Chains A and B, each alone.
Chain A
């Protein structure tokens, strides 16, 4: 807690000639007391606002740290999810190829299986065919 009673400075006990100065100061202080008290109220209000702002700032910092940690965590999770997604894509492509190969093998006559080299034309990317139509002006 700050001591805001600034007007008491220099009004303590003194000896000798300084007593006169202190008495004069005390007189002035008495006269200006309402003004000083109002000024202290204003200082106090500013102090309160500053304390509140600092508290809010600390809270915000805390929240920001929390959000940063959460963001990092979500970023990691997203990376893992994306990685899982691409792994899934790779797996599905592989399954598509295997299905094609199986179908080709099943379609072969009973006499024997086709050599694998005959089935090479099947790529691992059948699901990725992405055809779009041109603009009307083409």
Chain B
């Protein structure tokens, strides 16, 4: 099959796990003999050219909270419109790629920042089949104006966009549908995955000596709310209860001075360390050195690959009991779960420190399950099946690229005029 992968970012330019998964899926499909081309944005920092990666889209950066908060309301609205709804330049780039590559199917990933709604509308207009990998509530975000779901956009999204959706968890699917954006077509929940060869078995678990705990997030700040503050507070509670044979290493890029201050304020410098950001492969390899992986993320977390990667290395994940990954791992069988509070996490860790929870069998099972059921080799045939089924879709009644581009230009201008009139008139 000729597969065009569409993503806002592509490694080495990444924000989180979504883009990494995109690359892993593209590589896996290529290894299975498909002709895969990636259409993404110009990188935000220099990166080496790759023959199968076209970086011709333009990114509208809406992830800089600082500049977004400081901008005037009209600028913020115009930026969001270009990022979420329509960017005619990107529609033109997509049309060019469709014309040149002639894909059988488009494998869609994250669309925020590139005028996602218009790109999907373009595919719809040309009747190009697509499969949308949903690692986040992207349809809901695309239909939002100023942070609130626009019912008209959501209704039209549900009415017009018909295709294959692959949400990574049932909780994500529920969240999207309860928000009002109904997914119309074939919907199958398929989990995220891990990659790489089988690692050596985890040796020398905690046995009353020193418990090595890890936590990780791509970006450590309060906006993304991965619960790193809860991990630090749990460490403080444990120390206050007299436990001193543990250490907590936190990996990730710290964007928020709140976290170093928190560690200082609790006086935890001797046992909590901010280790900074590591390349993905190095980070995964490091998990073998830890016994427990804390993941006290927010309840709305769509999946959370990091605990799965830790599990594959035999590092037992201790996760919030209602995040996305919690519906894939079983409590006390191959992970530990706790309510999302520092006290609850501290309680579970203290049970490990007291010896009432034995990590070794949980870690062994977690590693086996992760490798057996969540390896990309297991997952990719299911995605491939969706791509194949989608590619057989009839293209009868398709519009022309000229029409699609003209409509995109019209929508872009109309959107700008409406924003100007509503805010400046």
Contacts A86-B321, A86-B322, A120-B372 given; indicate if A128 touches B337 (C-beta within 8 A).
no
Q: Which residues of B contact A83 (CB under 8 A)?
A: 321-322, 326, 337, 339
Complex formed: what's the CA distance from A82 to B327 in Å?
A: 10
Residues of A within 8 A of B331 (CB): 87
B378 and A121 form a contact (CB under 8 A): yes
Chain B interfacial residues counted at CB < 8 A: 35
CA of A129 to CA of B337, assembled, Å = 26
Q: Which B366-423 residues have C-beta < 8 A from chain A?
A: 369, 372-375, 377-379, 381-382
Main secondary structure of the interface of B (DSSP, over half): mixed
Does A17 make an interface contact (CB < 8 A)?
no
Who on chain A is nearest to B381 by CB?
A121
Contact in complex: B326, A124 (CB < 8 Å): no
Q: Is the CB of B187 within 8 A of A132?
A: yes
Question: Which residues of A lie under 8 Å from residue B369 when comparing CB positions?
Answer: 94
Check A135 against B377 for contact (C-beta < 8 Å).
no
- Please judge, given known A-B contacts A123-B378, A124-B374, A130-B189, whether A93 and B326 are in contact too, CB under 8 Å: no
- Cβ 8 A contact of B189, one of A94, A128, A134: A128
With A120-B372, A131-B186 as contacts: A90 and B330 at CB distance below 8 Å = yes
Nearest CB of chain B from residue A109's CB, rounded to whole Å: 23
Q: Is the CB of A86 within 8 A of B171?
A: yes
A87 to B322, CA, bound (A): 9
A-side contacts of B372, CB under 8 Å: 116, 120
Q: If A80-B339, A125-B190 touch, does A87 touch B326 (CB 8 Å cutoff)? A: yes
Is there contact, CB below 8 Å, between B374 and A87?
Answer: no
Please state if A132 and B170 are interface contacts (CB–CB under 8 Å): no
Q: How far is the CA of A121 from the CA of B170 in the complex (A)?
A: 21
* Chain A contact residues, CB within 8 Å of chain B: 76, 79-80, 82-83, 86-87, 89-91, 93-94, 97, 116, 120-125, 128-132, 134-135, 138
21 contacts between A and B (CB under 8 A): A76-B339, A79-B322, A79-B339, A80-B321, A80-B339, A82-B321, A83-B322, A83-B337, A86-B321, A87-B337, A94-B330, A120-B377, A123-B190, A123-B373, A123-B382, A124-B191, A124-B328, A130-B173, A131-B187, A132-B186, A134-B162
Known: A91-B333, A134-B162; 7 extra A-B contacts, CB below 8 A, are: A87-B326, A89-B170, A97-B373, A125-B189, A128-B190, A130-B187, A131-B188
